Structure 1
C-alpha cells in the first residue's frame, strides 16, 4: 500500500491538515529507511514488534527525546491501523505497545502585565500593517484560537449582529466564540485599512499580507514573537503561549472549566486541564490570604 494512499486517507477521511499528514508520512518514511538497512522494501508489511522495538532503541541511542519517539510511533501505529482497514495486513504489530514515559511539560503563560504592555505599546495604529498586527494579537488573547484557525478565518465568519466569530477547528469542527466590545472596534478599524489595499488576491479571507495575499502561519508566528520578545523574557513567545495565556487568565478569574473547554475547541476536558496548574497556584494565594485559620 503506497504512502500516497495513506496521505489521502488522512486528508480526506480523517480531515487532518496538510502539515499533519506530511508529518505522519515523514515519520513512516524514517522507519522505512531503518528497515531498508536490514530487510527488503516490503518489510514494513511483514515486521513484528521486535523490529519496531529495535528502531525505537536506535532512536533513543541517537538522542531523540521520548516525546518525539512517541510521536513517530504514533504515526506508525496510525499507518498500521490503515493497513488493517484496507486488509493489507492481518495484525497490527503495535497493538500492545506502551508509550515511553515523558516528563510533564509545563508551559508558562504570559502574565497579565505582559499582555497589557504589548497591547498598549502596539495600539498606535497608523497603517494596514500596524492595524493587522494589533488585531492578530488582540484576537488571540480575546478568543484563544489556534494559529491555523486564525489564518483560515473568512470575512463571512464574523457575525457583527451577534458579536461572535465562527471558527473552524481540528477536523473542520465549527464552534462560535463571543467577541468583546473592544475587539469589535479593532476589527472594524482593520477592515477599513484592508479595504484600502490596492490589490486583494483572496477577497474572502480576513487576514492578508500587505500584498493582498492570504496570511500564512510563519508570518503570524513572527508577529507574535516580535511584539512579545520585547515585553517578555520568556524563551518561547508564540501564538500557542497566547492561547495558553487566554485559558489560564480566564481560569484565574473564576471561569468554568467546561466553558473554557468549549471556547478552546477541545474534545475532552483532560486537554483543557493542562491549563489549570497556574489557576491552582492563584487559588493557593487566595486561600493563604483568606482562610481564617491561616490569619492567626
Structure 2
C-alpha cells in the first residue's frame, strides 16, 4: 500500500522519529478514510486538488485549528512528493494547495459589567494611590490610550473647557480625544489630591509615589492588580483596557472610522479586528440565550 511504503521510507531512509511517523500516519489514514467515504472506488492515485481542499474544509467544519490543518496538509504534501518520485502517482495534487491562514488571536477585553464593577462597585479610598489608580483605569477605558501615551500625558494636554485630550502616539503623531463629565470630574479630583501631596515642575499628569513621572511598568502593575479583582481573563494589561474601550464603542454604535481615529490607527483594517471580537461575543450570547442553539 502506498501509505505503508511512505511510512517505511520515513522510518528507514529518513530515520524520522516515531512521533513524526505516527503524526504523518494519522493524517494520511484520516485522508484515506475521507476519500473512501466520499467514493468507495476512489484511490489515492486519483485524488485531485479540489478533493484535498474539500477535506481541509471538512476539517475546519469539525473545529480543527488552522495550525492543525496545515500540519495535516504538510503530511499530505510529503506523501505525494514521495509518491511522484517513486512513480506511484502520475501527478502531485497537493503541491498547489495552500493551507488556511493562521488567525490572529482576538483581543481580550472586559465586558461593560466588569468595567462597571471595577470603577463603581469596588471600595475606592481617598488616598493618593487609590485616587490615582481609579483615574488611570477610567482614563484608559474612556480614551483608549496606549500605556506610553498615558505616561507621556502632561497637565497641559487636558483642555477641560473643550472637554478634550491631546495625545501623542506612535511616531509622535498627535490626536485629539473628547471626554465627558465623569472623566473631567475624576481628573480634577485626582489633580487636587496630587497637588496636595507633591510639588512637581515637569508638568507630568501622573506621578509615582515619589513624585516623579510614572513609568510604564508602574502603570502596568496598577492595572494588572485591579483587573485581577474583576476578571478571570489571562491578559490583564493596560492594552486590555484599550481593547475594552474599542469593543464598547463598537457595541454601542460607533463606526469603524471613528474608532480608528480615536485609537490612532493608521488603517481601518487594523481596527476591523474588533468586529471579529464583537461577533464572537454575539455568538456566545446567541448560544447562551437561544433555546435551540
Mark yes or no: TM-score above 0.5. yes
In the superposition, the TM-score normalised over structure 1's length comes to 0.60
* Cα contact 2:220–2:237 (8 A) shared by 1: yes
Unpaired segments of 5 or more residues in structure 1? Answer: 1-65, 67-100, 289-296
SS at match of 2:218: helix
* Cα contact 2:144–2:245 (8 A) shared by 1: yes
Following TM superposition, by how much is the alpha carbon of 1:186 offset from its aligned partner in structure 2, in angstroms?
Answer: 0.1
* Cα contact 2:107–2:277 (8 A) shared by 1: no
Q: Which residue of 2 aligns with 1:181?
A: 181
Distance 1:112 1:287 in 2: 18
Distance 1:148 1:241 in 2: 14
After superposition, the Cα gap between the structure-2 partners of 1:260 and 1:123, relative to the gap in structure 1 and judged at 3 Å, is farther
After superposition, the Cα gap between the structure-2 partners of 1:104 and 1:247, relative to the gap in structure 1 and judged at 3 Å, is same
Q: Which residue of 2 aligns with 1:94?
A: none
Is 2:154 aligned against 1:154? yes
Distance 2:112 2:209 in 1: 30
Distance 1:188 1:256 in 2: 30
* Cα contact 1:199–1:211 (8 A) shared by 2: no
Distance 2:197 2:277 in 1: 42
Q: Which residue of 2 aligns with 1:132?
A: 132
Distance 2:226 2:250 in 1: 25
Unpaired segments of 5 or more residues in structure 2? Answer: 1-66, 68-100, 288-293
In the superposition, the TM-score normalised over structure 2's length comes to 0.60
Instruction: Let me know the Cα RMSD of the aligned residues.
Output: 2.5
After superposition, the Cα gap between the structure-2 partners of 1:286 and 1:230, relative to the gap in structure 1 and judged at 3 Å, is closer
Which of these two proteins has the greater Rg computed from alpha carbons? 2
Is 2:145 aligned against 1:145? yes
Following TM superposition, by how much is the alpha carbon of 1:107 offset from its aligned partner in structure 2, in angstroms?
Answer: 2.4
* Cα contact 1:144–1:243 (8 A) shared by 2: yes
Q: Which residue of 1 aligns with 2:266?
A: 267
Q: Which residue of 1 aligns with 2:120?
A: 120
Distance 1:122 1:224 in 2: 14
Distance 1:257 1:211 in 2: 41
